[in-house]
């Protein structure tokens, strides 16, 4: 679920660098998307699944792509797909969730996935986001949609009423009404990505969810919600540079330590030489005074 962005773009496409990114909606318009129903799988995630997701997120927060979306610190997002972490640490869960997306698409008659899309790699994970919303945090815009993606899965990790209050998930329906969706811990809701959806403000506590988006593009491991479906992402290059720097830190530290030791050794040597010179000077002075007498 990408935060709303204000961009100067045409209705049908938008420019990212030198690449024109077109929303592939598989023949379904934004208006038609509002007519689709939200699908759900109650208690899809076990307590062990939730614990594993939260453990991985907590362990790697400092290494994952991060975005602070709340002006007052009320909403933080970490990108679990950064450097392929999600696929490596949670591959079994990934496969189950992708399978769920296929089932919801078929059962709901969305028609977002074509035969062989998943199996042949034409549709991949665009992003996997770990969200924490605190008091005041929310996705307020009722016409927010996940442009550029096909299907969005929203996984509830916290317990409503115990871990947080408020934060209701809603969709704007074609008749103009706002529909609230039951969303308990362990539940997964899925919907056509460009169906309007929002989250009401959190009243208290912390609302944590994991969100996955599928798109007709390449599997992404860059530390953000990528806008470029094919080709090398410029942010991926930045990640490689940072990773390379991180990998070289032990060598840099050792080099600095060696340089410091060499400097101290040279400084000590100079002090010894200076002491010897002063000692010789004092001795010569004493001899001169003795000779004068």
Residues 114 and 149 in one domain: yes
Q: Is residue 6 part of a domain?
A: no
Q: What is the distance between the alpha carbons of residues 223 and 241, in angstroms, rounded to a whole number?
A: 13
pLDDT tens track for 11-69: 333 333 333 344 544 568 889 999 999 999 999 999 999 999 999 999 999 999 999 98
Residues 140 and 82 in one domain: yes
What distance lies between CA 25 and its chain's CA centroid?
24
Burial (CB < 10 A; 0-12, 13-18, 19+), residue 52, is middle
Using the structure block, give the residue that is written with the tokens 């704007």. 172
Q: What is the distance between the alpha carbons of residues 246 and 240, in angstroms, rounded to a whole number?
A: 10
Out of 231, 265, 283, pick the residue that ends a domain: 231
Give me the number of domains the chain comprises: 2
Query: SS3 helix, strand, coil % of the chain, rounded to 5?
Result: 35, 25, 40
Residues 115 and 175 in one domain: yes
Using an 8 Å Cβ cutoff, are 238 and 81 in contact? no
Range(s) of the domain holding residue 275: 235-293
Using an 8 Å Cβ cutoff, are 112 and 105 in contact? yes
Instruction: Kindly report the number of other CB atoms within 10 A of residue 9's CB atom.
Output: 13
Q: Is residue 7 part of a domain?
A: no
pLDDT tens track for 179-201: 999 999 999 999 999 999 999 99
Q: Is residue 270 part of a domain?
A: yes
pLDDT tens track for 139-161: 999 999 999 999 999 999 999 99
Q: What is the distance between the alpha carbons of residues 27 and 273, in angstroms, rounded to a whole number?
A: 85
């Amino acid at each position: 679920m990408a935060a709303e962005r204000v961009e100067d773009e045409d209705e049908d496409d938008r420019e990212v660098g030198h690449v024109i990114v077109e929303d592939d909606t598989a023949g379904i318009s934004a208006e038609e998307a509002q007519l689709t129903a939200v699908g759900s799988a109650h208690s899809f995630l076990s307590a062990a699944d939730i614990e594993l997701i939260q453990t991985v997120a907590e362990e790697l927060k400092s290494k994952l792509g991060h975005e602070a979306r709340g002006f007052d610190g009320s909403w933080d997002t970490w990108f679990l797909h950064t450097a392929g972490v999600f696929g490596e640490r949670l591959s079994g869960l990934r496969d189950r969730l992708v399978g769920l997306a296929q089932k919801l698409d078929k059962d709901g008659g969305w028609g977002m996935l074509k035969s062989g899309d998943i199996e042949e790699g034409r549709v991949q994970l665009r992003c996997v986001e770990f969200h924490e919303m605190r008091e005041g945090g929310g996705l307020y815009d009722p016409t927010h949609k996940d442009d550029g993606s096909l299907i969005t899965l929203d996984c509830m990790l916290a317990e409503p009423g115990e871990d947080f209050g408020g934060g209701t998930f809603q969709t704007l329906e074609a008749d103009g009404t706002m529909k609230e969706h039951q969303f308990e811990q362990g539940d997964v809701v899925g919907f056509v990505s460009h169906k309007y959806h929002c989250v009401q403000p959190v009243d208290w506590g912390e609302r944590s969810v994991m969100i996955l988006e599928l798109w007709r593009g390449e599997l992404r491991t860059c530390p953000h919600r990528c806008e470029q479906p094919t080709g090398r992402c410029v942010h991926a290059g930045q990640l490689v540079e940072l990773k390379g720097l991180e990998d070289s830190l032990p060598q840099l530290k050792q080099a600095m330590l060696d340089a410091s030791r060499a400097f101290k050794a040279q400084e000590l040597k100079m002090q010894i030489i200076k002491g010897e010179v002063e000692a010789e000077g004092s001795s010569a002075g004493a001899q001169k005074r003795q000779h004068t007498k």
